[in-house]
Amino acid sequence: MNKPLRRIALFCGLLILTLLLRDNWVQYVQADDLQSNKHNRRVTIERYAQPRGDIIVDGKSITGSKKTDASDFAYKRTYKNGPMWAPVTGYASQAFGATQLESIEDGILTGNDDRLFFRRTLDMITGKKKEGGNVVTTLSAAAQKAAFEGLGDKKGAVAAIDPTTGAILALASTPSYDPSSFAGNSTTTDTKAWQSLQKDKDPNDPMLNRALRETYPPGSTFKVVTAAAALEHGLYSDVDAKTDSPLPYDLPTTSTELKNEGNLPCKNATLREALRVSCNTVFGKIGADLGKDKMLETSEKFGFNAEQFTPVRSNASNFPTTMDQPQTALSSIGQFETAATPLQMAMVASAIANDGTLMEPYMVRELQAPSLDVIEKHSPKKMSEPLSKENAQKLQSIMETVVKEGTGTKAQIPGVTVGGKTGTAQHGVDNSEKPYAWFLSYAKTGDGSPVAVAVVVEDGSANRDDISGGGLAAPIARAVMQAVIDSKK
């Protein structure tokens, strides 16, 4: 071969080698990035080429799929009672992507998960159409309905947990939205529905998951955490012994008086009486006496200052890490910078009901293949132990007094032992906004504690005292607890 031909052959060989290298780079190294690229329309077309698997509650699907016309996408998602279940499912939209369970478990629902590889290969050989798997949740349809209907046209949220396992039983948020309204990709109907739900168009922000993603000042409901800290750190051991609680009480190093909501019997009140009538002075002084570090330790054992993954992410609740004594006192009654999600406060009630053991909250019981074979099953996990069994039972006793003869009487259920704590969280400049009404509680039957609940109502004709939590939020919590108890009969 002459020299020019050799050069041409060598050059062509280099071109072929470069092409092979590039081809392998694209197919193997960049494959995942290209597949997940939001501009890769083929991925979206393939995702909606067949019906999605379903999200299951109590053995029944709360989702479905519908054949579409005149679109690259063969099927679109549908939802049953969409607004009620939106805080659980999230949405799967051909135009706007997916959130929450629809996004996190997209691989299972579309059938693309690596754990379904053998199934997909077998279907290719047999010619069977590709199918998605199912996501089986821990939710209770009865509890969710009670929570959603209880909130009604009020703005707020409910979280309910099984204290013994951490299974989430209800997760409601209002106002809500129907994910079906923008599940397609129509530039008229779907886009219009989507735009109408955005916060700049609707200040009520219906797409905000208030149960997981909104942190509120917890007000007096946080006093149960402060009571737990007092017991755990040995400041007090007898819930019926008098505390060292002067009245009036000035915040440490200041001349600012910490006031109670009304003329309450709070001077040297016992922990039981102080929680029953909700004494700011008693619990503020407990926080100041314990100090920042001990209050922070107990708060973080309950889950504060950390995100929770259920697997849907919940915002981290906040207990301040940098405070002076007066700020510690205010934080210990749920003021200053203390803030909590409804899920977090349900976790607090859950740990107390479960004799001091906090279980990790979760909402997916198992993942199923299209054949309904279980490919992953959740095992309940202990998260922490915020307080001992002895101290948890002491705290249960005084929380039960709150419901029997305190501010939480509207949560009473005949034949059931209920413990609870009301709260009113003031906010806004100079507390000018309507207060948030809170109630956290748990129920106990002869078979144990099947449910713990936290309810927050953002707006309503709430009075500025703890009775507002008892009046607005406690009846919702009672309905949710009753629904769980009835469903187990």
Q: Residues with catalytic annotation? A: 220
Largest CA distance in the chain: 109
Closest CA to 47 of 132, 119, 167: 132
Helix axes 389-405, 223-232, angle to 10 degrees: 140
Q: How far apart are CA 362 and CA 86, in angstroms?
A: 17
**CA dihedral of residues 94, 96, 97, 102 (deg, nearest 10):** -90
Is 19 exposed, middle or buried (CB count within 10 Å of its CB: 0-12, 13-18, 19+)? exposed
- Over 236-299, what HEC string results? CCCCCCECCCCCCEECCCCCCEECCCCCCCCCCCEHHHHHHHCCHHHHHHHHHHHCHHHHHHHH
Answer whether 341's CB lies under 8 Å from 348's CB. no
Beta bridge partners of 93: 97
Q: How far apart are CA 279 and CA 395, in angstroms?
A: 16
Phi, psi of 380 (to 5 degrees): -55, 140
Helix axes 292-301, 280-290, angle to 10 degrees: 100
Per DSSP, the three-state class of 454 is: strand
Q: Is the alpha carbon torsion for 110, 112, 116, 122 positive or negative?
A: positive
Q: Is the alpha carbon torsion for 410, 415, 416, 419 positive or negative?
A: positive
Helix axes 223-232, 292-301, angle to 10 degrees: 110
Answer whether 404's CB lies under 8 Å from 395's CB. no
Amino acid at 361: P
Q: Which helix (H) or strand (E) holds 17?
A: helix 3-24
Helix axes 141-151, 82-89, angle to 10 degrees: 110
Structure tokens at 482: 């009753």
| Residue showing tokens 């946080």 | 222
Who's near 322: CB < 8 A, 6+ residues apart? none
Q: How far apart are CA 463 and CA 187, in angstroms?
A: 46
